Structure 1
Amino acid sequence: MEPANGLEKPFMQPLHTMQPQATAPMLIPGSGNRNVKNLPYDAQGKRGWSFGLFSCFGDGMKACCFAWWCPCLAHAQNRRRLDHLNATGLPDPHRDDLMAEDSLLDVLVETMFAMGWVLQIVTRHNVRERYNIRGSAFSDCFTPFCCLPCDLVMNSRELRLEEDTFLIYQPERSQQNQESRQGEQPQGRSKPDSA
């Protein structure tokens, strides 16, 4: 049956009542696992933090005490680790060093003005962006202002999750691999005689 006005019906798409599901971000070559805990992503492709704000003691006392007693150095260390990951796709080989030449600004801002939390705003935002973590500019500002040490530990733990996915930065596995290689002798060769 043809329409009365002589025009054909246009092709109509079938009606879908479900929204498409969020998909995990693609893996980026040269980087570690950015969602080690396999946390679910929402419709915008964002996930929650891997650790809560007040789970400071989860990595032991070292990171927590460092963030409480030397927040300026903890921030500089986190920023340096994040910058190295972003620039090279690999963990900073000096990630556990306390001081570096770029730590001076953090030390001055924190000790002279007690405003280290202001520097943490940008670092927190960059960590959220790298790992597709839900949040806002308000949370990036408010969280370090209210509890800077807890925020520093939370950011450090998020970075460490990715860093630890690289085999070369897992000392126990690396040492086991070296020991197993030293114990193996190539076939068909004998040990050289000692003179």
Structure 2
Amino acid sequence: MSHSRVNNQPAGQHGMVVAPGGGGNRNAQNMPVDADGRDWSNGLCGCCSSCGTCICATVLPCVVYGKNKHRYQHLDQQGTPEPSPGCCSGSCVAHGIFAACGLGFIFQMVNRGHVRHRYNIKGSGCGDCCTSFWCSPCQLVQESREIELEEQSFGTGRY
């Protein structure tokens, strides 16, 4: 790549998180961004606005966790939405096994941290832990909806 092409690249803007995989609009609802980042695009208690995901996250949280993780990783690594996220994956199975022992929230806490970082969302590991432990279904839906906003920003109409 020539030096002149590098100089002609668009500059990042305040609050923008740039990852190796590129991606779509990571702040699709234009949430205000300050030095600590921004808030989630959807509130934690807004899980009922995505009824199907909410029911699935309540009954089978491992499925929603697995889909969230797979969708996030595809966006992060490929820079595009996952064309057909599967229902069951290795992540889903691992979460299910640990959830049977009461430890599924640990997987969710780690993934929530990755999602927060990708979207420059305010928070901390302690907050991720508490939210994943006490509000598991709502946390999974909130995370899913944040990922969905970036997927929709590609304009594919699939999501």
TM range (shorter): 0.7 to 0.9
Q: How far off is 1:94 after superposition?
A: 1.7
1:142 aligns with 2:134: no
CA distance in 2 between partners of 1:76 and 1:125 (Å)? 15
CA distance in 2 between partners of 1:155 and 1:54 (Å)? 12
1:155 aligns with 2:131: no
Matches within 5 A, 1:14-93: 23-25=14-16, 30-44=22-36, 46-59=37-50, 61-93=51-83
CA distance in 2 between partners of 1:102 and 1:32 (Å)? 24
* 4+ runs deviating over 6 angstroms: 26-29
Percent identity at matched positions? 37
1:133 aligns with 2:125: no
- Give the 3 Å change call, closer, same or farther, for CA 166–54 of structure 1 in structure 2: same
Tell me: higher relative CO, structure 1 or 2? Use CA pairs within 8 A at least 6 residues apart.
2
Matches within 5 A, 1:108-123: 108-111=97-100, 113-123=101-111
What is the root-mean-square deviation in Å for CA atoms of aligned residues?
2.0
Match of 1:98 in 2: 87
Amino acid at match of 2:129: C
Q: How far off is 1:138 after superposition?
A: 1.0
Instruction: For residue 167 of structure 1, give the secondary structure of its aligned residue in structure 2.
Output: coil
Amino acid at match of 1:58: S
CA distance in 2 between partners of 1:74 and 1:36 (Å)? 22
> Structure 2: where are the runs of 5+ without partners?
1-12
CA distance in 2 between partners of 1:167 and 1:23 (Å)? 24
Amino acid at match of 2:14: T
Q: How far off is 1:100 after superposition?
A: 2.4
Report which of the two structures shows the higher radius of gyration computed on alpha carbons: 1
Amino acid at match of 2:28: V
TM-score, length basis structure 2: 0.84
Q: How far off is 1:27 after superposition?
A: 6.6
> Structure 1: where are the runs of 5+ without partners?
1-21, 173-195
